[in-house]
Structure 1
């Protein structure tokens, strides 16, 4: 009881400081979160069933989520009490091996056939590709995929799948720069050639700074910039660090983004700007110059507040990345369970 009292006070502090616009459903998010903490249960298939090893994953966020989940109070040894079922398998698993795995789960346990896999989830950094095999089709179509942001085109199903926030060097809230005359309007690391004309224009524009190396000079540029530029699909691993530093992310994209981390929780339009590549550097500058000071300051405030939900802690803390990813799984626990097959 004491733990939940502390959590409630903490949540009231968050909403008082940042307001409600940061969250998509502020009235229900935190009450649901508290319910999740006390009731949510996940069953993990054993290593012998899924032929897993201790070195399952290739990205730090996958390993962090996996290891934290297995030692958390959300796991249960009784599958009859589980809301969701976790399918761990190595990232190198071929489509044929994956099909055999699902077939084994289907025939060995009664749970898959109740929902055709809709109450199951799995980790795959790059996502599971399409297949003609029934077992893989059901996995990709019905089960919740947890992949790494950003995902490749065609590898993510909106409103079903979830992405993990990137692991970054963010340690506590950095000092936020509120100067009216920043050194740079925007900062960008040149890691993508999807829009070479735009990037060339930005490189040659006096109000934008492009940095080629990844040394600590990056932090100086981030803190002295009003906006940090990202090309969607390229290196976005330090976007959370930019938010923590008070630098508003500007994501250059030629299509709607549907795989943002914690997209069921955070109102990303309140902490980031999304622009197309067709306007060139001057068009981009006009968009950013057109953001009113009050809105910009609100985006900075909300962005700093959002980082508590995007940071991975070695020891999990309330409302951090691990808990908010689990919360998104909790939101997906309501599935249609088909009648069990009755042998004649």
Structure 2
């Protein structure tokens, strides 16, 4: 991709705005209404279409935006219906359109100055924990189900926690990621989870429990080759599903996780 100074030679036009800044500056706290944010975006498009000729030629089909806020799909659905949307909250039920929209990775950068520090983890043979999850237990409907079946040390092979307690005796979040075979990426309020990229960073095979989620870079990555998908209704059979994966198959999955790491590293470095 090249950035051009002559707009007449451009194939695509970027729409620069921050979905996060919209929330921070315009959203009325606890109002649960986004109308003023949507109106702001409509005014933004009206301004662009009046000042420049390019939007009106295609109704925005050759324009694109990138937005990682949870609200971005609903806020851009009406006035950006033909625009290419790169979204982190890539939920089919919330209007993600195959062939038009694309899915972006989301993660938590622990050290902005050294984003790739402390990555990696144990080899496949040195990961004693079968599966690990820790996260806010009351976010969405999937996590309470996961915790009701597998939380509170109901099974010694599955380390499934709500909020992970910190102590000198307990492993911390990253240690679990680095020493577990599978890392559970269960949806919260929305389909996407930063844990997905974190799992890849630490060499842990992602287990995606999030129906209707479109994973990042799905156009070029065959996720079934390095991740495990578990339907929400199959949470009661989670251990059975994971234990049915042979050691040989698991090692293949983990090896491929390491291979795709570089794609997410480039995005992080950028």
Paired with 2:234 and 2:41, the residues of 1 have a C-alpha distance of 44
TM-score w.r.t. the length of structure 2 is 0.75
Secondary structure of 2:173's counterpart equals: helix
Are the equivalent residues in 2 in contact too, given 1:225–1:247 (CA < 8 A)? yes
**What displacement does 1:273 show?**
0.6
Asked if residue 263 in structure 1 is aligned to residue 218 in structure 2, the reply is: yes
- Which stretch of structure 1 is more off in the superposition, 232-241 or 183-192? 232-241
Deviation beyond 6 Å, 4+ runs, structure 1: none
**What displacement does 1:264 show?**
1.1
**What displacement does 1:97 show?**
2.5
**What displacement does 1:130 show?**
6.3
In the alignment, what sits opposite 1:15? none
Are the equivalent residues in 2 in contact too, given 1:252–1:276 (CA < 8 A)? yes
1:39-98 superposed Cα distances (whole Å, 9 cap, x missing partner): x3xxxxxxxxxxxxxxxxxxxxxxxxxxxxxxxxx3222111111001113432722232
**What displacement does 1:262 show?**
1.0
Secondary structure of 1:191's counterpart equals: coil
Secondary structure of 2:5's counterpart equals: coil
TM-score w.r.t. the length of structure 1 is 0.61
Paired with 1:278 and 1:87, the residues of 2 have a C-alpha distance of 39
Paired with 2:165 and 2:98, the residues of 1 have a C-alpha distance of 32
In the alignment, what sits opposite 1:162? 102
Gaps of 5+ in 2: 27-36
Paired with 2:102 and 2:156, the residues of 1 have a C-alpha distance of 38
**What displacement does 1:151 show?**
5.2
Paired with 1:177 and 1:197, the residues of 2 have a C-alpha distance of 31
Secondary structure of 2:86's counterpart equals: strand
Are the equivalent residues in 1 in contact too, given 2:178–2:203 (CA < 8 A)? yes
Secondary structure of 1:142's counterpart equals: coil
Secondary structure of 2:50's counterpart equals: helix
Distance 1:101 1:243, change over 3 A: closer
Are the equivalent residues in 1 in contact too, given 2:129–2:179 (CA < 8 A)? yes
In the alignment, what sits opposite 1:82? 10
In the alignment, what sits opposite 2:172? 217
How large is the Cα RMSD of the aligned pairs? Answer: 2.8
**What displacement does 1:111 show?**
1.0
Paired with 1:110 and 1:302, the residues of 2 have a C-alpha distance of 46
Distance 1:312 1:237, change over 3 A: farther
Paired with 1:272 and 1:129, the residues of 2 have a C-alpha distance of 28
Paired with 1:239 and 1:95, the residues of 2 have a C-alpha distance of 29
**What displacement does 1:297 show?**
1.1
Secondary structure of 2:217's counterpart equals: coil
Ranked by relative contact order (alpha carbons within 8 Å, sequence separation 6 or more), the top structure is 1
Are the equivalent residues in 1 in contact too, given 2:178–2:204 (CA < 8 A)? yes
Are the equivalent residues in 1 in contact too, given 2:102–2:216 (CA < 8 A)? yes
Are the equivalent residues in 2 in contact too, given 1:145–1:161 (CA < 8 A)? yes
Paired with 2:17 and 2:146, the residues of 1 have a C-alpha distance of 40
In the alignment, what sits opposite 1:230? 185
Distance 1:252 1:112, change over 3 A: same
**What displacement does 1:246 show?**
2.4
Are the equivalent residues in 1 in contact too, given 2:93–2:212 (CA < 8 A)? no
Distance 1:314 1:267, change over 3 A: closer
Gaps of 5+ in 1: 1-39, 41-73, 317-344
Alignment length (residue pairs)? 235
- Which stretch of structure 1 is more off in the superposition, 216-225 or 287-296? 216-225
Distance 1:245 1:311, change over 3 A: same
Are the equivalent residues in 1 in contact too, given 2:177–2:204 (CA < 8 A)? yes
Distance 1:155 1:103, change over 3 A: same
In the alignment, what sits opposite 1:304? 258
Paired with 2:199 and 2:72, the residues of 1 have a C-alpha distance of 26
